[in-house]
Amino acid sequence: MPLNWSRLIMLVVTVMVSIIGYSSTGASTTLFILAVVGIPARDLSLLFALEWILDRCNSTVNVLGDCVGVLIVEHLSKRELEEMDGGQREGTQPEP
């Protein structure tokens, strides 16, 4: 099924609106998106079989994004963290 630019933009907007605040796509959301855009959902069994893999990929991307966010915050607040620890670095023993 060829997708022209207007249908592709409508697909992107529909996906963005339906995913906001929702942790995983889910088969029901995918079916909703296919129905709104007008793409026939003939092979539902294939959709349900792939849903498991898609959910694992989404979870991996979410966890990786969280890790990158933590690294950025740690890097930007390194000076403040050292001041709170009294200038101690990792692996050093506190002075008596």
pLDDT tens per residue, range 15-50 = 777 666 555 556 667 777 777 767 777 766 677 777
Indicate the angle between helix axes 5-19 and 26-37, nearest 10 degrees: 150
The sign of the CA dihedral 84, 88, 89, 92 is: negative
- Is pTM beyond 0.85? Reply is no
